[in-house]
Structure 1
Amino acid sequence: MNDRRQDIYKLIEKKRITEAIELLREVLTAEQPSLLPRLDRSADVYRHMLEFFVSGAPDPDRDRILANLRLQLLELCDELHRSIAIVSDSAQYYETVRIRKGFSDESLSGLFSLLQDNSRQPAQYEELLKTIFFRIWTAYGLTPEEQDAIVAAPTSLKPMLISALGLGLRTWWHTGDVTFLLGLIQNPHLEYDNRVHALVELVLVLETYPLHTRLFEPVIKIHLDAAQESFPLGAVLEQLYIRLFRAQHTERLTQELQEELLPAMQKIWSEGKSSGMQQDLERLFEKAASDPEWMRKMRESGIEDKMRRISDLQAEGADVVFGSFRHLKAMPFFSDLHNWFRPFSPEDPQVKALLQQTSALSDAALVLPYMLCDSDIFSLLFTLKLMPQESRSMALAQMGFDMREMQEQINEFKRENKAATGEKLSNTIKRYVENLYRFHKLFSRRASFYDVFAKDFSVPEVLNKYLSPDKTQALFGRKLLSLGRCAAAIPFLRKAVQTEPSRELYEQLGYAYQLSGNPSRALKAYNRADILSESEPGSWLLKQMAFCAGAMGRTEKAVELYLQLATQEGGDKRACLVAAALLMEQKQYPRAIELYLQYRDLTGREDLQMLRPLAWCYFSTARYEEARAIYQQICGGGSVLASDELNLGHCYAVASDRVQALEHYRKAVSLYGDHGLRDLIKAYRNDTADLAQAGISPDLQALYVDSMAQLFNE
């Protein structure tokens, strides 16, 4: 059935309305005849619209009517497939719908009253809270009374209710419920944080349903325009998308942190072993800076640069604690779906019971909302609850949470009156996105849910109106590029250069294409950057242009660019070596020799990077004496490779000095290591064509191989 659904979607997207109606009628007749009257009404509307079109009369409402009609057909298709899935699908959503008859028949407002009455009875309270969450999650069309009950619900519960609504909408689009969500954002009387939360859910729904979103765009605009009068829509959207981009980088960051950085640090600093959770990297850096020996070891091992980069990401708000808390989500509390969206509030009976345990927990509860998302706070407090009372403060300190220091930071935060500024907004968005990320990555039944973090975020066109076109697209593109998500950065950077073309933006677009494996488009972008530059292209741009030309097989262009890079003032002389290597790949050995010698003239030195390939170029152009002289020079030094002795042996073999040839082949055996003879013979056979060109016939080569096998097999 999913195939038929996708077929109908494609027809609607391509505006092949008649075919979509016919296919939908066929499926409805077989599966859900009760929906046929609605399809008939839509078909009548379309027939009348076509009659009006044929008459030639002006029809200013045609686009609006057509968009509404296509959306109605999409919803009919959705409702049909939802009803089919309810019968037998094993996903948690459909299981919940099937058993919903067992839920309380009490109205939603009545359930809220019962919840308040049972706040002192934990078991009843938890069951009611779960029922409310499931009721909203699976509603698929809230009644006006249910919508009013949500608006009138206790402030502390609204985040969970909005989450339930969004979770349901990401399972199945429902125009009425999307409109209600828009109304929450527009409502100036709703608490600010809950309006932010509603906007987060709306964005995720729109990202999930691109076709529905385009068709519903006029209504979305009306509500968001109204919301903008009392709500910083652009600022919230900008910060939200930055958070979403960062969230998609969390797994890679966690892997780098736990599998590379921390184990390496533990080897050179024993204190790292005492930390059960992620320490604050800035504080760790401060401690490390007081130990010069430790810092020296960090620099030598390459850890310092990684540590600084991750520290910078942490300062920007990256989710560096995900890996520390992921193993704490196995406790029974997180086996219930609704608890993943439960806000940490002092009014919550679960929270009250936890905080009554000890002052250490109460102190932690005051400061942790500024540091962690709700899900992680519950994890931490439940973990502390299991510890002996006298160990809790020490455990917090070992986890990197200095209560006194954090309280001072929060007091300063409040004194500076930042609560109503962007920092509070940023923290609100950060906490919710992290809650959502943990749910999609760690919930035991997460496979039942569409993972909003699994694909790139695109920013629907309807939302672009509220973002600054001259900076936001570039901001998003640069952020994604800095996170290594190059393919995702390209659409934003393309829009940015269309709005405000600049050398820097074209360089970034080119780099995104290059790292995405598209050198052709990368080179075009780099050429645009070169055109927009007020001076000669810099070393970085020349290097990237040359690389892309080489990757495209445009060897002559690549060599030209590498030479320009090598010879410009302050340029990279090593570019001669790269250009020569490209020519060697094309077997243009005489020109490669010229470039290696040019590198020697530019730098005034003969290093192994130049000598080894130069010697092989001499050998490949029958300049055997010059090749042998260089290989003798290399083999007389302290950095000899097995291939150097092998190639020197080739030079003697060409001169018919078999004794010297075999002597150097013998030296190669010892340099190859444990399987020296086997590796030598394999390397020798790889050079078969070159040796034949140098006059060593296949018969002679076979004799050399057998001689090596007998002489060196000791």
Structure 2
Amino acid sequence: MKHASAENIPAKIESYVSRNRLRDAFQQLRSYSARLGDWRLTDEIDRLEQSYSMMLRYATQGVDDPGRSDIYASIVRGIYDMTDRISRDMTKPLSSSVYFSTLRYEAMQSDGNLPVLAERYRSLLSEMSIYNLVTGAENSPASRARTELEMLERRVFNQVWIAYPFSSDEENAVKMLFEAEEVPDYFREMLVSALMLGLTHYYDERRLLMLFDFYQLAGSSRISLIALCGALLAMFVNRNRITGIKVSQRIEVLRDVTSWHEDVKTVFLQFIRTRDTERINRKMMDELIPEMMKLRPDIAKRMRDITSMPDIVDMEENPEWQELLDRSGITDKIKELSKMQEDGGDVFMSTFSSLKGFPFFSEVANWFMPFNIEHTAVTGALGSELAAVGGIIQASPFLCDGDKFSFVFALSSVPAMQKKMMLSQFGAQNINELELRNAGLGTVSEEKNNLVNKYVQGVYRFFKLFRRKGDFNDPFSRPLNLLQLPQLVPDLTDLETLSVVSEFYFKRGYYDDAFHVFRMLADKMPPDAQLFQKMGYCMQQKGDIANALEYYEQAELLNADSLWTLRRLAACNRMLDRREQALQYYRRIEVKKPDDLNTALSIGHCLLELGQVKEALNYYYKVEFLDNKSTRAWRPVAWASFVAGEYERSRVYYEKVLGDAPSANDYLNMGHLNLVTGDIKEAINYYNLSIDNDNGDAEKFISRFKEDEHYLTDAGVAPALLPLVVDALLYSRD
């Protein structure tokens, strides 16, 4: 976290820039730079302000300058850069965050610069090629070289991560590594991730443009897409810092020479799927796992009945076990989770979150390392099983790289029998997945989706599970919505993309986001009843009933026969106390579905609220007649009879209600009935039951009682008696 003396600097400067008060921004910069006493920073501020002064002079003299907006944008970018440099330099000496601890450590090393480390890394790769060995005996040249190589990979990663602002020498060093044939692909991926991670701390246009270069020039689609993921994530995190035209111009070129348009959509859809991760975790932890734990005794009993344990791959499905799962509802939950996984949902987050405590995950760089069976952590964990197991895990299409490392470390610490079962299940699922792919069912688009999906899952895990995650700016702490980036508007606002995105949000209950995208769709397509229905539903779920009603009315204009729309119109009008209008809609529904119980009940409620008690009772009786086994009409009949003064009928129905899981309100109403019929003692007994049924909340009872006082006085109870009844009730409870 930033040190207290510097943490507010960016916010203050940004406040001035956002209000176009650059003079005040420069004054603030001078004030902060004076504390550091760095003349180089002061000189740069001077040069930047001089450029601004010249621009102001030309502008005030009436000189027409078509490039003025670009100059202004470059000055703003310079102000932001200086702000970050000053904030960073003020924070560096004292902050205990991982970022600044790493920065101070690297500054103390004799070889502590990126070009030197990059050259040493390449030299070591050449030495290792001479050994032509992956591993060797402990302390052998190959083993020592492998250990040093991994140490250098972590240090280069850290240097790329913490370097700011990125110099031309550092840029050349990274590009040299990226282009060198001997550098393995997994390390190229790590370099891309390091560039991205650095951009979550401080915006650096040079870094972002490098990610665009790697997206375009990478030799593999995997690295290319990972670079694009990093670039788009960095753009979103720094969306208020991207000024000028250089980034937009670079994107225009990429649109012409790459599959940018489709790739951006692929990445965006994976970003928005991260919104579902917490929901899936809750479903796993709150629903599936507790239900499975309940079944443990039954499963244990059946396990005891098995005299010998066959190989799990050869075990046929046990119908009795399946029946257990079906009865408990676990089967349905597993099917739902499987569907989520097919849709790209992260169903393994909760499973592997507890397996990130291994020492391997203490290093930031290791979270961004592609799974590599040659890594010493893997060879050390698997030992003699490396050849048999390593390839299976590496080929797994359903685990992200970090989870593959977790699986290896967990595997190394379990007994042999459990290990055999785990590997059998893992291998069987792997084979099924790979068979599907080899059968040609996986398109290029699906391969890209899976690749991006797994990379994004790995990045998400770092920001959510790293032991010191609080030291980092989590880009997933808010909806990662690329539609907020004006540079990407041409790529993400076509009808197909907006339709997919809006449906994703809508089906998962993210109604704010869904409405925002539906509104964009409405601007791009002819009026559509279904679209207005969904917009209305979003508004209704947000509690904005008035706006929901407007959208439902627009849907009705386009499709007046939709029962769904008519029901929503009726319900919204009733919620807005527009009972006459609600009743009209319910009458229209009744014409289409004359025997619908819900409609009959709703009409009865509207009539009762409008004071048409006798007609309301007729509809409640209709409900009872249509379904004589249902208890749904009991309460409304009891209450409507009470309001109509038909107390005996009301008593008959309230006695039915009280025999069938009564509520506090039912006891309250039965008390009212006894009060108006003169049995005050019995009324107080029922009022006591009402309070008891509501956790003893007497104040809540009094509030409800006061709301109903007009019904009691209309029925002939003397107003002066009512407070006496309440006090007598409270004394009886003492």
Superposition TM-score tier, normalisation by shorter sequence: 0.7 to 0.9
- Say whether the 8 Å CA contact 1:506–1:529 is kept in structure 2: yes
Task: Kindly indicate whether the alpha-carbon contact (under 8 Å) linking 2:533 and 2:565 is maintained by their aligned counterparts in 1.
Answer: yes
- 449, 459, 484: which one aligns with 1:436: 459
Q: How far apart in 1 are the matches of 2:460 and 2:299?
A: 27
- Superposition map of 1:256-405 within 5 A: 256-267=283-294, 293-294=323-324, 297-298=327-328, 306-358=333-385, 359-368=387-396, 370-389=397-416, 391-397=418-424, 400-401=425-426, 403-405=427-429
State whether residues 546 and 559 of structure 1, in contact with CA within 8 Å, keep that contact through their aligned partners in structure 2: yes
Indicate conservation of the 8 Å contact 1:234/1:466, yes or no.
yes
* SS of alignment partner, residue 90 of structure 1: coil
Supply the distance in 1 between the matched residues of 2:444 and 2:575 (Cα, whole angstroms).
49
Tell me if the contact between 1:545 and 1:558 (Cα under 8 Å) persists in the aligned partners.
yes
The one-letter amino acid of 1:639's match is D
Residue type at the aligned position of 1:651: L
Letter in 1 for 2:395: V
Q: Deviations over 1:204-257 (max 9, x none)?
A: 1111011222x14x3223323333345322222222222222222212211112
Once the two structures are superposed, the pairs formed by residues 669-688 of structure 1 within 5 Å of their partners are: 686-687=704-705
Provide the residue aligned with 1:227 in structure 2. 254
Q: Secondary structure at the match of 1:574?
A: helix
Cα separation, partners in 2 of 1:96 and 1:550, compared to 1, 3 Å? farther
- Please point out which of 29, 48, 53 is paired with 2:59: 53
Q: C-alpha displacement at 1:190, in angstroms?
A: 3.2
- Give the 3 Å change call, closer, same or farther, for CA 17–288 of structure 1 in structure 2: farther
Give structure 1 stretches of 5+ with no counterpart: 275-282
Q: Compute the displacement of 1:198 (Å).
A: 0.7
Residue by residue, what CA displacement relative to the aligned partner does 1:91-128 show, whole Å, maximum 9, x if unpaired? 21111112222333461332322553476225433322
234, 245, 266: which one aligns with 1:205: 234
1:247-646 matches, within 5 Å, as 247-267=274-294, 293-294=323-324, 297-298=327-328, 306-358=333-385, 359-368=387-396, 370-389=397-416, 391-397=418-424, 400-401=425-426, 403-416=427-440, 418=442, 421-459=444-482, 460-467=485-492, 469-501=494-526, 502-531=528-557, 533=558, 535-552=559-576, 554-569=578-593, 573-575=597-599, 577-578=601-602, 581=605, 588=609, 590-591=611-612, 594-595=615-616, 597-598=618-619, 600-601=621-622, 604-605=625-626, 608-620=631-643, 623-624=644-645, 626-635=646-655, 639=660, 641=662, 644=666
Identity across matched positions, percent: 24
**Number of aligned positions between the proteins:** 681
Distance 2:439 2:631 in 1: 63
1:509–1:525 CA contact under 8 A, matched in 2:
yes
Return 65-74 or 403-412, whichever deviates more. Answer: 403-412
Aligned twin of 2:717: 696
Q: Determine if the alignment matches structure 1 residue 65 to structure 2 residue 93.
A: no
The normalised TM-score by structure 1 is: 0.84
- What is the aligned-residue RMSD (CA, Å)? 3.7
The structure-2 alpha-carbon separation of the partners of 1:528 and 1:68, relative to structure 1 and needing over 3 Å to count, comes to: farther
Could you tell me how far apart the structure 2 residues matched to 1:337 and 1:44 are? 41
What residue is the counterpart of 2:135 in the other structure? Answer: none
Listed one character per residue, the Cα deviations across residues 363-421 of structure 1 (whole Å, up to 9, x for unaligned) are 532432x1200000000011112234554221334xx42x1452254144135284x71
**For each residue in 1:255-309, what CA deviation from the matched residue of structure 2 results, as whole angstroms up to 9, or x when unmatched?**
11221133224535868789xxxxxxxx9xx9698878547635xx6x6655443
| Distance change >3 Å, CA 685–CA 253, structure 1 → 2 | closer
Aligned partners of 1:313 and 1:677: how far apart in 2?
Answer: 40
CA contact (8 A) 2:624 2:633 kept: no
Deviation (angstroms), 1:437: 1.1
Q: Is the 8 A contact 1:510 1:523 kept in 2?
A: yes
Greater Cα shift, 169-178 or 49-58: 49-58
Deviation at 1:556, TM superposition (A): 4.7
Q: Do the aligned residues in 2 keep the contact of 1:635 with 1:644 (CA within 8 Å)?
A: no
Q: How much does 1:13 deviate?
A: 2.4
Return the letter of the residue paired with 2:213.
G
Segment drifting more, 228-237 vs 451-460 = 228-237
Q: Aligned letter for 2:549?
A: L
2-side partners of 1:425 and 1:201: how far apart?
15
Pick which of 247-256 and 357-366 moved more: 357-366
Rounded to whole Å, the distance in 2 between the matches of 1:35 and 1:149 is: 30
Q: Is the 8 A contact 2:671 2:686 kept in 1?
A: no
Pair 349,330 (structure 1): closer, same or farther in 2 beyond 3 Å:
closer
| C-alpha deviation, 1:56, in angstroms | 3.5
Q: Please give the alpha-carbon distance, in whole angstroms, between the structure 1 residues aligned to 2:264 and 2:594.
A: 44
Asked if 2 retains the 8 angstrom alpha-carbon contact of 1:186 and 1:226, the reply is no
Contact 1:182 / 1:220 at 8 angstroms: preserved in 2?
Answer: no
TM-score (norm 2): 0.82
Partner of 1:130: 154
Indicate yes or no: 2:97 matched with 1:96: no
> SS of 2:346's equivalent?
coil
Cα pair distance change 1:69/1:592, threshold 3 Å: farther
Deviation at 1:449, TM superposition (A): 0.4
**What is the aligned counterpart of 1:21 among 9, 18, 26?**
26
Contact 1:566–1:575 (8 Å) recurs in 2: yes
Q: How far did residue 155 of structure 1 move?
A: 1.5
Deviation string 1:480-515 (CA, Å, 9 cap, x unpaired) is 222222223232222121112422222222222322
Offset at residue 162 of structure 1 (A): 0.9
Q: Once the 2 structures are TM-superposed, how far is the Cα of residue 569 of structure 1 from its aligned partner?
A: 3.9
Q: CA deviation at 1:59?
A: 2.4
Q: Which residue number in structure 1 is paired with residue 190 of structure 2? A: 160
- The alpha-carbon distance between structure 1 residues 536 and 308, as it changes in their structure 2 partners (threshold 3 A), is farther
Q: Which amino acid aligns with 1:134?
A: N
Q: How far has the Cα of 1:454 moved from its partner? A: 0.4
Counterpart contact for 1:185–1:199, Cα < 8 Å: yes
